[in-house]
Amino acid sequence: MSSIPDYIVLGSGVAGLRAAIELANHGRVIVLTKERLDESNTEYAQGGVAVALSDDDEIDLHIEDTLIAGAGLCDEKAVRVLVEEGPKYITQLIEWGAQFDREGEELAFTREAAHSRNRILHARGDSTGREFVRSMIAHARKLPNIQLLAHAATIDAIVEDGRCVGVRYIDPNESLLREMRARAVVIATGGAGQLFSQTTNPSVATGDGMAMAYAAGAMMCDLEFVQFHPTALALPDAPRFLLSEALRGEGGILRNHDGKAFAANYDERAELAPRDIVARAIVAEMKRTGTRWMYLDLTHLKATFVRDRFPKIFTTCLQYGLDLTKDQMPVSPAVHYVMGGVRSDTHGRSTLPGLFVAGEVSCTGVHGANRLASNSLLEGLVFGARAGAAAIADNLPAPTQAEAEPVEFDLASWRLDPHTKSRVQELMWQKVGLIRRGPEMQSAIEELTTLATTNINQRTRNFSTLAKLMAEAALWREESRGGHYREDFPTRDDAKWDVHSAQQIGQTIHSTTKLSEDD
């Protein structure tokens, strides 16, 4: 394969791999990822993938559930694309070798919070994301037009004459900074959960792709909407390991330190209310009882069922001295997913020509103010394919300017400064977290502005800048909706705030309407 590709894809999660597979039908594709190929948010997706494939489900019901969870800010056109095209792409994935759990010969569907039907497919109980990555990498390796390059961190996008024409990246074999040019670039680098000190996200989720797109001139939208997963393992000596939504879907009960179930006191849907409601219920109960965590109880369920249904969670908890079948799990909320990101139409086109986005890095409006459980893997699959198809359809000319000679690069200058990273994470968790207040966010913005302009390396500035953008969007939206809760503006205000936030370099934050209006 020639070293000069037609298309560049950044990220090797579900969105990036699906985009690469689509693009490989029409040209040479190189996939760059900053860590190993199977290290992405996709790999850590436990619960499953939502898709209207079961006999008792309907497309319109899945659409309705998604719109309700999105709290009035979903782009309905994007939601319809996701749900209507989802079955086709899941079926295709099965044809490529993905092995979902079955009951006999039939696919096994389960239910998660805010879903009106059993529509969640899972693999090996609670390793669905891992199965996505395994089957998609295996399929991609069969395609001669795809080159997968691990440990190749991208520094920035190359923009010429108002168009993205390539990227600068670190050669994984040598300490060299190289340029790579192509007809189009697809960013599928995932989310930014590492902006917060308490997160279920892996260490790679530092928002590099979002920051890169912003610096190149692309518009960002809805960064104020951050989903806090209600049930992360809350042990002092353990990582914030995700205890899947599916645990509550299968009958798990939230209890306080007195052993009393409390979720129904905050919402009639109890444990199956949308994630933002359950997360705030846990925080409210912690505050009421003066405790640092609540408990998730599955001890009333059959032990063999729990072990077979959640083998990865069961094994991980055992490593920390907890038996899911006998012990109540200490839990508290942690950052899980960013609904906002690089503004995109339903074909993955950003506002910068030549730059396409897919997956959590993007904002199509499909999730609105709060993502419906298990819609994320489906989003990566559907919109990854659509972004690849759009890059082909746009038929952008190959860049004519020759690539620059590689230059020596100090790897230490790219790494996140640990002190700054830690300070940003603490600021975001304490002042731009689950419950937000204007004065605290203003204080955070002032310090983040200083951190973002300090003479440190580019990646650390990007990290601080993205945190500042998120805090500014949260301060700008003076209402509570979905994952964004303002204690000083506790009600939803459709009359004023039925709009999306928009942020672009060189401009003040402003509002925009439907994200797919230019589609």
Catalytic positions: 275
Query: If you compute the radius of gyration of the chain from its CA atoms, what whole number of angstroms results?
Result: 22
Please report which residue ranges of 239-361 form alpha helices under DSSP H.
245-249, 275-289, 303-309, 311-319
Q: Which residues of 175-193 are buried (b: 16+ CB within 10 A; e: fewer)?
A: eebbbbbbbbbbbbbbbbb
What is the C-alpha to C-alpha distance for residues 219 and 360, in angstroms, rounded to an integer? 15
Q: Could you tell me the end-to-end alpha-carbon distance of the chain, in angstroms, rounded to an integer?
A: 34
Q: How far is CA 173 from CA 141, 150, 178, 272, in A?
A: 21, 10, 12, 48
Q: How far is CA 471 from CA 222, 229, 477, in A?
A: 11, 19, 10
Cβ pair 484, 226 in contact under 8 A: yes
Q: How many C-beta atoms surround the C-beta of residue 403 within 10 A? A: 14
Phi, psi of 166, rounded to the nearest 5 degrees: 160, -165
The two structure tokens encoding residue 188: 């599928």
Nearest to 444 by CA among 458, 462, 430, 434: 430
Q: H or E element: which one contains 158?
A: strand 154-160
What is the C-alpha to C-alpha distance for residues 428 and 435, in angstroms, rounded to an integer? 11
The two structure tokens encoding residue 434: 């689950």
What is the C-alpha to C-alpha distance for residues 86 and 502, in angstroms, rounded to an integer? 28
CA angle 501, 504, 510 (to 5 degrees): 35
What is the C-alpha to C-alpha distance for residues 512 and 212, in angstroms, rounded to an integer? 21
Q: At 205, which amino acid appears?
A: A
User: CB-based contacts of 451: which residues, under 8 Å, 6+ apart?
Assistant: 420, 423, 424, 464, 468
- 61 CB-contact burial (10 Å; exposed 0-12 / middle 13-18 / buried 19+): middle
Residues in the chain: 519
Nearest to 198 by CA among 241, 240, 243: 240
What is the C-alpha to C-alpha distance for residues 361 and 343, in angstroms, rounded to an integer? 9
